[in-house]
Structure 1
Amino acid sequence: MKHLSKPCFFIATICFIVAFFLTCLDFNSFNHDFYKSEYDKLGVADEIGISRVELQETTDVLLDYIQDKRDDLNVSAVILGQERQVFNEKEIMHMVDVKDLYLTTMNVRMMTGIGFIVFGLLGILFDRKNALRNSTEMFIMGTVSALTLILFLGMYAMIDFDQFWLQFHYIFFTNDLFLLDPATDILIQMVPSQFFFDLVFRIAGTFLLGMVVLCGGCFYIRRKSK
């Protein structure tokens, strides 16, 4: 059964990488300080014609809805001097899809987290003597593969982010509700392309830093164990 140890550790590594990436996505996507910083940098409140206070309140409602902490997106604000509902029907329908996608990713994170524990324990049980060597070897192999993929996608995003972001939506959404009009739709005015560019690379940076540190730890452990 010793020959099953490495495959188990490799599966555990993949599960960990997916769970860790989704954790980085979750942490950064709902970081309210990041939103405030981006709004100030991009002049979002002035662009929309809304007060900074109401913009932040609207953002809180939006993020709470995505995280399933509230059931609707009914929020009003004074925009260009007139009080109105912030989001129109198309924007709300798109956010229904976004919420479903987010909740699905969190379920995937939970399942891969469980998978990491289960396959890690199996890897240890199949070959206790070489568990440390096998686990670090597979972790390094999986990390190199993940970093290569992230760097490739990062280069694609750097070269043509609009096309990268469009392809992301075509892959994960089954309709074109995400094609919003920046001239009329508040949602896209709140989070324009530059916002998502900064968010994507913030998520990628957090993930890469974490994986490099962990991979370095594995190299250190392997060296010490020898």
Structure 2
Amino acid sequence: MNKLNKLISLLCGIALAVFLLTSSTIFALNFKTLYKIDTTRLNIPLEANISKEATIKNYTILIDYLNPLNNDDLIFEDFFMSHEGREHFVDVKNIFNIITYVSLFTFILSLILIAHLSRLRNFSFLKYSYFMLILIPLTLAIPFIINFDKSFVTFHEIFFSNDYWLFDPIKDPIINILPQEFFFHESMLILSLLVVCSIILIFLHKKLNKNKI
């Protein structure tokens, strides 16, 4: 394998890993079943003093708003919002827009590079991908499990240029139906998906290399 194909293989491995990371994040965001489970497990309606049906309905409004194809304004049925709260959700939507665009770009790039490398019977890109997908969960899971509170704060400080994410429940009661424990479960779902993806890639790499012999 010449240097160019080694570089293409590495690029393909990175692109595939980024696609799986971003697509896992998108899946977790839209996996509303997890929130429905947590409404009961975390007693969210009771804590927010609102019915379970209204809790899920307002959460669904938020998730639908974050969809890149949705250009409607964010209007909750049962909650008012402050200017800071509204601006924070705009920032969140912008981040998820970027994640979606990156996911789409890396998906297309991966397909093109995989098609090229498959013709050469070069499957080393799978090794690069699963290595990254093993490394990412291990790197993130440790601080998440040890101190999720600090990790949660650090995440917001990195990705947001303001402190609007520090919701005041009086001004933005929507935060009462978005407990931090739910975001921990979301994070664990993403990490679990990455572990599953890495296992699948390991299996494919071994199987395809065995068939080359």
TM-score (norm 1): 0.86
Letter in structure 2 aligned against 1:159: I
User: Structure 2: which 5+ residue stretches go unaligned?
Assistant: none
TM-superposition CA deviations, 1:126-176 (whole Å, max 9, x none): xx4xx22x32x2321332133123212111111111111111112211111
Q: 1:145 to 1:22 in 2, by over 3 A?
A: closer
Match of 1:81 in 2: none
Match of 1:24 in 2: 24
2:201 equivalent to 1:214:
yes
Please state how far the C-alpha of 1:107 moved relative to its aligned partner: 0.6
In 1: Cα distance, 2:87 partner to 2:115 partner: 43
In 2: Cα distance, 1:86 partner to 1:166 partner: 24
Matches within 5 A, 1:161-180: 161-180=148-167
Please state how far the C-alpha of 1:2 moved relative to its aligned partner: 3.8
For the Cα contact (< 8 Å) 2:14–2:128, is it kept in 1?
no
For the Cα contact (< 8 Å) 1:64–1:70, is it kept in 2?
no
Please state how far the C-alpha of 1:70 moved relative to its aligned partner: 4.7
In 2: Cα distance, 1:140 partner to 1:213 partner: 11
Letter in structure 1 aligned against 2:98: T
Q: 1:70 to 1:38 in 2, by over 3 A?
A: farther
Q: 2:144 aligns with which of 157, 160, 169?
A: 157
For the Cα contact (< 8 Å) 2:18–2:106, is it kept in 1?
yes
Q: 1:87 aligns with which of 81, 90, 102?
A: 81
Q: How many residues align?
A: 212
Q: 1:122 to 1:138 in 2, by over 3 A?
A: same
Letter in structure 1 aligned against 2:51: S
Please state how far the C-alpha of 1:55 moved relative to its aligned partner: 1.2
Match of 2:126 in 1: 139
Equivalent position SS for 1:75: coil
Letter in structure 2 aligned against 1:180: F
Please state how far the C-alpha of 1:212 moved relative to its aligned partner: 0.9
Match of 1:103 in 2: 97
TM-superposition CA deviations, 1:21-46 (whole Å, max 9, x none): 11111111111211111111111111
Deviates more, 1:38-47 or 1:51-60: 51-60
Name the larger-Rg structure: 1
Match of 2:210 in 1: 223
2:53 equivalent to 1:53:
yes
In 2: Cα distance, 1:174 partner to 1:122 partner: 41
- In percent, how many aligned pairs have the same letter? 24
For the Cα contact (< 8 Å) 2:133–2:194, is it kept in 1?
no
For the Cα contact (< 8 Å) 1:4–1:123, is it kept in 2?
no
In 2: Cα distance, 1:34 partner to 1:12 partner: 32
In 2: Cα distance, 1:23 partner to 1:109 partner: 6
In 2: Cα distance, 1:214 partner to 1:123 partner: 15
For the Cα contact (< 8 Å) 1:73–1:87, is it kept in 2?
no
In 2: Cα distance, 1:60 partner to 1:36 partner: 10
